[in-house]
Amino acid sequence: MRRREFLKHTAKVTAASVAIPAVIDGYPVKAFANSPLLSALQGAATDNDHVLVMIQLFGGNDGLNMVVPLDVYGKYQAARTNIAIPEGKVLPLQGNIKTGLHPAMKGIQELYDDGKVCIIQSVSYPSPDYSHFRATDIWLTGADSDKVLSTGWGGRYLAEEYPNFPEGFPNTEAPDPLAIQIGSLVSPMFQGPAASMGVAISSATDFYDLIGEAPTNDPPLDKHWGVELKYIRLIAKQCDKYIDSIKLAASKVTRQGAYPDTNLANQLKIVARLVAGGLKTRMYMVSLGNFDSHANQTEAGDTTKGFHADLLDQVSGAIKAFMDDLTQLKASKRVVGMTFSEFGRRIRSNGSMGTDHGAAAPVIVFGDYVLQGVLGNSPTLPDTSTVADNIAMQYDFRSVYASLLEQWFCVKQEELENVLMKDYQRLPIVSGIACGLITAVPDVRDAGINYITNYPNPFVEKTYIKYTTKGGHTMIQIFDTTGRLVTVPVSKVHVAGDYTISFDAEGLPNGIYYARFQNGSISQVRTMMKVR
Partner 1 sequence: MDRRQFLTLSAARQKRTVNNASFGRTDSGVNTYTGAFETPQMVHVLKRALFGATPADLAWAKTLGNMDAVVDALLTMEPTPPAPPVNNYGDDSTGIAPGQPWVMSAPYVKTDGDSLGQNRQRSYRAWWMGVLLNQKRSIQEKMTLFWHNHFPTETTVVLDLRYHYQYNVTLRKHCIGNFKELVKAVTLDPCMLNYLNGDLNSKTAAQENYARELQELFTIGKGPDSHYTEDDVRAASRVLTGYRINAQTVTSYFDSSEHDFENKQFSDFYGKRTVTGQTGAAGAEELDALLDLIFSNAEVAKFIVRKLYRYFVYYSIDDQVEQDVITPLANIFRDNDYELVPLLKAMFKSEHFYDPLNMSCLIKSPADFCVGLCREFSVEFPAASDYMNAYDAWDYIRDTAGKMQQNLGDPPNVAGWPAYYQEPMFHELWITTDTLPKRNQLSDFLITGQGARNNLKADVIAFADQLSDPGNPNTLIQDSLDLLYRVETPDAFKASLKSQFLLSGQTTDYYWTQAWQNYKNNPTDAALKQVVETRLKTMYKFIMDLSEYQLS
- Smaller CB distance to partner 1: residue 127 or 431? 127
Binding string, 299-338, against partner 1, x = CB under 8 A?
Answer: ----------------------------------------
The candidate with the shortest Cα–Cα distance to 153, out of 429, 485, 434, 403, is 403
| Closer residue to partner 1 in complex, CB, 352/510 | 352
Interface pattern 466-505 for partner 1 (x via CB under 8 A): ----------------x-----------------------
**Binding to partner 1 (CB under 8 A): which residues in 121-150?**
130-134, 137, 148, 150
Nearer to partner 1, 174 or 427 (CB): 174
| Amino acid found at 283 | M
For partner 1, give the closer residue by CB, 11 or 246: 246
DSSP 218: P
User: Per-residue contact track with partner 1, 67 to 106, x per CB under 8 A?
Assistant: ----------------------------------------
The least CB distance from residue 450 to partner 1, in Å, is 32
The CB-side HSE value for 524 (13 A sphere, CA atoms) comes to: 21
Give helix 413-420 / helix 153-161 axis angle, nearest 10°: 140
Sole window of 7-15, 88-96, 236-244, 324-332 interacting with partner 1 (rule: CB under 8 A): 236-244
The smaller minimum CB distance to partner 1, of residues 270 and 374, is found at 270
Listed ranges 235-243, 445-453, 488-496, 504-512: which one lies at the site for partner 1 (CB under 8 A) = 235-243
Does the bond joining 456 to the residue before it have cis omega, within 30 degrees of 0? yes
- Listed in sequence order, the residues at least 6 apart from 160 whose beta carbon sits closer than 8 Å to its beta carbon are 411, 415, 418, 419
Report the residue number, 131 or 251, with the smaller CB distance to partner 1.
131
* H helix runs in 172-262, sequence order: 224-252
Give ∠ CA 121-55-202 in degrees, rounded to 5: 175
- Smaller CB separation from partner 1, 273 or 473: 273
- Chain CA centroid to CA 86, Å: 28
Label the pairing between strands 96-101 and 198-201.
unpaired
Q: Is 459 exposed, middle or buried (0-12, 13-18, 19+ CB in 10 A)?
A: middle
In DSSP terms, 351 is beta-bridged to none
**Residue 290 vs 431, nearer CB to partner 1:** 290
The correct pick among 196, 245, 425, 454 for binding partner 1 (CB under 8 A) is: 196
Binding of residue 191 to partner 1 (CB under 8 A): yes
Q: Which residue from 379, 335, 327, 376 is spatially nearest to 358, judged by alpha carbons?
A: 379
Question: Please, which of residues 206-225 interact with partner 1 by CB under 8 A?
Answer: 207-208, 210-212, 214-215, 217, 219-220, 222-225
* Nearby residues of 251 by Cβ (< 8 Å), 6 or more positions away: 277
Nearer to partner 1, 294 or 334 (CB): 294
CA distances from 291 to 340, 354, 443 (A): 11, 11, 34
**CB-wise, 47 or 206, nearer to partner 1?**
206
Per rule CB under 8 A, is residue 451 in the interface with partner 1?
Answer: no
d(Cα 268, Cα 271) in Å, to the nearest integer? 5
Among 185, 440, 495, 531, binds partner 1 (CB under 8 A): 185
How many amino acids of this chain bind partner 1 (CB under 8 A)?
Answer: 56
244 contacts partner 1 (rule: CB under 8 A): no
Nearest CA to 276 out of 247, 242, 252, 244 is that of: 252
HSE-CB at 338 with a 13 A cutoff on CA atoms is 24
Q: Does 188 bind partner 1 (CB under 8 A)?
A: yes
Going from the C-alpha of 22 to that of each of 25, 31, 213, 496, 516, the distances in angstroms are 5, 11, 54, 14, 21
Give the binding site for partner 1 (CB under 8 A): 58-59, 130-134, 137, 148, 150, 183-186, 188, 191, 196, 199-202, 207-208, 210-212, 214-215, 217, 219-220, 222-225, 227-229, 231-233, 235-236, 238-239, 242, 289, 294-295, 350-352, 354, 356-357, 482
